[in-house]
Structure 1
Amino acid sequence: MKELRKHSRRKIGILGLLLVTIVTLSGCAKEGLADIDNGELRFEEIMAIKVSAMLADEEVIGLNDEEIKDFVSLVNSFDLKRDDEAQSDKYGAPFVFTLEQSDGGKTKLQFFDNILMVNSKARYRISEGDGTMLMEYCDRVYQYEPELVKICRQYIEGKKEFSTKAGNIDYSIYRIEEMTFDDYKSAAFQTDEKVTEKNVGDYRMVTVGDTQPDEIGMHNYAVLLVDTRDKEVKGYAPTK
């Protein structure tokens, strides 16, 4: 009988320890790495953040703990001004940060041209200085160019047609687009490629560089036609 009580107490003790452990682990699981708390922008207990370059259709990158803390600290330092009518330039490489919170909530913060859009609704302006810090941060965690952009860089740097501006093109600014046949025709590509309504889906129009002219009126950007099957540039659209 005493032996039975001993075993019973032992089982109760083990169950109690397991219960305490489970409760402790559950409590830890609910704690986030950091909180965003900047005016109207409030997101508590952020557990994970994933980032992607939206228009580039690139792979999603999961930030590590230190990168998450750095990003949250950066956002908390922004001087935000609500402006739901704010519009962005159509060129660029917008970054989308998906926040995952301990309660299961998810929020998308899209940064583009010094505009922050929250869940595709509320918009805020950030200063040029904040925008620069954000892009420097993104460069650190997103340290490679998409494959099609690399292909375009190699093509441009090897072609005399781009010799006057090749060194001034900013390849961190890009746009990769699918095309309709009408889009293809309107671009007026210089190419020997036989693009038709049936095979136009095999090509992408890739824009690299800044669309703003410099002091002598030169536009430092290029628009290229890339075949996604053999990963080659097949032509370019003349730009002024």
Structure 2
Amino acid sequence: MVARVVNLNLFYGKKQALFDINMNIKKNKITALIGASGCGKSTFLRCFNRMNDKIANIQGLVEVKGQDVASQDVVKLRKMVGMVFQQPNVFVKSIYENIAYAPRLHGMIKNKEEEEGLVEISLQKVGLWDEVKDKLKTNALALSGGQQQRLCIARALAIKPKLLLLDEPTSALDPISSSVIEELLKELSQDLTMVMVTHNMQQAKRVADKVAFFHLGELVEMGKSKEFFESPKEERTRAYLNGVFG
């Protein structure tokens, strides 16, 4: 088990946004969080890397690799818990610097040769190396949207996270780029644990090993993907999957 959440409650001022969430995140699996807009899935996702700290009151336990995230140094925590956002957010730097910057900052690289090797491996993992190897000094903003999102994933992988968070990573992309990202995530899950927010139930069905359904801040149901979609246990889950709301 890579992460676990125990009795998690979260408040924005007096308004409660998450209610008593309990969840285990298994190693080398993709866990998809689904539910209608505003149900709390992105808020929940950001509890793993403490992105809610300054805007919310959080109660309960969130652990990654057996360590309570609340007691961790935030910089070290975000090395262990990477994140990819909805919109590709490349640095306004070269493709090379987008990958090398964070590992250099964290003292992970001993010399230039090691740095170049890490850049190449990270880009290979996301299938970008052959597309960009001759233009590593080019500004990353020159890449297409799909390429930029793969670069963001490569950048996250470069610091060797134990857990990768993805907040609707394909919603800003065209169908072909989305499909490339989905295939990439399935490949990466052989060696990496991921939690992904998606508004797309078909995507969750295609990509996820486990699916968790959130409704109005509650975790209603969680299970293996095939069982979840074919025979949901809760009435609210069945209603959501049948399009009654959401």
Q: TM-score range by the shorter chain?
A: under 0.3
- Select the structure with the greater relative contact order (CA < 8 A; seq sep ≥ 6): 2
Larger radius of gyration: 1
* TM-score normalized with structure 1 length: 0.23
